[in-house]
Amino acid sequence: MITTTHQNKTVQIQHLGLVDYQAAWDEQERLFADTVARKIANRTLPPDEQLPTPNYLLFCEHPHVYTLGKSGHESHLLANDDFLKQIGATYHRINRGGDITYHGPGQLVGYPILDLDNFFTDIHRYMRLLEEAIILTLNDFGIQAGRISGLTGVWLGGSGGPSGPERKICAMGVKASRWVTMHGFALNVNTDLSYFSHIVPCGIADKAVTSMQQELGHPVPMAEVTERLQRHLLDLFEMNG
């Protein structure tokens, strides 16, 4: 464990709007690398000279893109390069955990780059708090959601929420090194769900996907969802925004 003298519970929040996936990934990598470098540098300094490590929370949307995690299978992308061009989508293999997922307009993507030494060193707890923030946000809009044992993310249906088949409304995939996190979650707000038909979402073939718009029957203001989710994340992690 690499620690500083004092835990820094302040988070720098950035609202990036609609941003190219590669550009957002590059920014994540930059912030992640800078944070890890500061942690390593602190090891060589006496406690009174160590600098606190920063925390970041990036919110954005992406143009149509499919991303495949380290444990994913290429076969779960059901479209070839020519078809991806036809539907205006790109494809990236990336360094988060998990399988394949889709990002696009109308989907709220969150990238927490946190030094968990500032909070707690427990990846399981970290993932459950991210899920809890999504669950509380959905509840604010009258959508009952929950978890499915053995699966990551936030779900509706079955024992996790309203009646009907089990369906995923928020996907998650993270990377952590030296207790610094990157990547994060993708909440379907007003997402065009037809794009999920070109993949096996998260490698799970027997469950559907849904969105807040589909569940409520009308579009939902993205700014309001973002504000509610940001508030829940700050509260659950006891962060100062």
**Token pair for residue 199?**
């993949």
Q: Which residues are catalytic?
A: 202
Q: What is the pLDDT of residues 18-73, one digit of tens each?
A: 999 999 999 999 999 999 999 999 989 998 899 999 999 999 999 999 998 887 88
Low-confidence ranges of the chain (pLDDT < 50): 1-5
Residues belonging to the binding site for substrate are 96-103, 171-173, 184-186
* pLDDT on residue 96: 86
* pLDDT on residue 199: 83
* pLDDT on residue 2: 43
* pLDDT on residue 95: 83
* pLDDT on residue 179: 97
Beta pairing, strands 107-113 & 180-188: antiparallel
Q: Is the model's pTM score more than 0.85? A: yes
Domain edges within the chain = 12-234
* pLDDT on residue 9: 96
Report the topology of domain 12-234. BirA Bifunctional Protein; domain 2 (3.30.930)
Q: Are 226 and 15 in contact (CB under 8 A)?
A: yes
Dist CA 228 CA 87 (whole Å): 32
Residues belonging to the binding site are 96-103, 171-173, 184-186
